[in-house]
C-alpha cells in the first residue's frame, strides 16, 4: 500500500451506548484493506493510562511533555497537552474550522496533524461531535447537533460506509 494515499478523516457521533465503538470495530478492518488506519477517541474524564511508579510515568511527572514507550509489541506515546491545554499552533494556521477558539478542537487538530505526518490514510474519530468533519451519525443523534456534514448513519450497510469514507475529500492536501 502506498504511503501517498489521501488523508481522510471521519467522525462517528452519537449518544453514549449507541454503538459507536462497535461501529469502529467493524470499520477499522475494512478500511485497513485500503490503507493504514488510526483511531481517536474523545474521553470526557481523566484516566490514568500510565501506571504510577513505572519509568514512563516517572518521566512524565518529571516534566516531559511527551513520553514514548517502546515495548516488544507496542509503541505508545503519552502527551500531557490534552483537551484542557492543547498546544498553540506555531504558524497560526487552523487545520479545523473554529479550532482557534475551541481547545478541544485544537487538541483534535494537533492529533490529526501528527497522524497525517505518520502516513495514515484514514482516521476514525469517535466522539468530538462538534468537530467540522464528515460525520456518521450513530443512534438517535440529531444532525443539527454535529459540527460537520452528515455523510452516513450507523445503520447503513458497512460496505456503503466504507466506500463513502474512501470517497471523502482529503483533510490535508499532500500534493
pLDDT in tens, 143-175: 999 999 999 999 999 999 999 999 999 986 544
Say whether pLDDT at 48 is over 70: no
Q: In CATH, which of 3.40.50.300, 3.40.228.10, 3.20.20.330, 3.40.190.10 is domain 1-42+88-175?
A: 3.40.50.300
Q: Which of 14-23, 89-98, 154-163 has the highest mean pLDDT?
A: 154-163
Start and end residues for every CATH 3.40.50.300 domain found in the chain: 1-42+88-175
Cα separation, 81 vs 117, in Å, equals: 18
pLDDT at 169: 93
Average pLDDT over residues 73-86: 68
What pLDDT, in 10s, does the model give residues 30-42?
999 999 998 988 7
**Widest CA span of the chain, in angstroms?**
49
pLDDT at 173: 57
Percent over 70 (pLDDT), the chain? 80
Cα separation, 107 vs 141, in Å, equals: 23
53 — pLDDT class (breaks 50, 70, 90) = confident
Best CA proximity match to 118, nearest among 68, 50, 152 = 68
Helix (H, G, I), strand (E, B) or coil at 13: strand
Q: Can you give the pTM of this predicted structure?
A: 0.80
Q: Average pLDDT of the chain?
A: 82
- Strands 37-41, 150-153: pairing is unpaired
Amino acid at each position: 500500500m502506498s504511503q501517498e494515499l489521501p488523508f481522510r478523516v471521519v467522525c462517528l457521533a452519537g449518544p453514549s451506548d449507541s454503538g459507536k465503538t462497535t461501529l469502529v470495530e467493524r470499520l477499522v478492518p475494512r478500511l485497513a484493506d485500503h490503507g493504514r488506519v488510526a483511531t481517536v477517541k474523545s474521553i470526557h474524564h481523566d484516566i490514568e493510562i500510565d501506571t504510577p511508579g513505572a519509568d514512563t510515568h516517572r518521566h512524565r511527572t518529571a516534566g516531559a511533555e511527551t513520553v514514548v514507550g517502546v515495548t516488544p509489541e507496542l509503541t505508545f506515546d503519552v502527551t500531557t497537552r490534552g483537551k484542557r491545554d492543547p498546544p498553540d499552533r506555531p504558524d497560526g494556521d487552523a487545520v479545523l474550522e473554529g479550532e482557534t477558539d475551541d481547545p478541544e478542537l485544537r487538541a483534535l487538530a494537533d492529533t490529526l496533524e501528527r497522524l497525517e505526518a505518520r502516513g495514515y490514510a484514514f482516521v476514525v474519530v469517535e466522539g468530538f461531535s462538534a468537530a467540522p468533519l464528515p460525520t456518521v451519525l450513530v443512534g438517535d443523534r440529531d444532525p443539527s447537533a454535529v459540527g460537520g456534514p452528515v455523510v452516513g448513519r450507523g445503520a447503513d450497510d458497512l460496505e456503503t460506509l466504507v466506500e463513502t469514507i474512501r470517497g471523502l475529500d482529503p483533510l490535508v492536501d499532500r500534493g
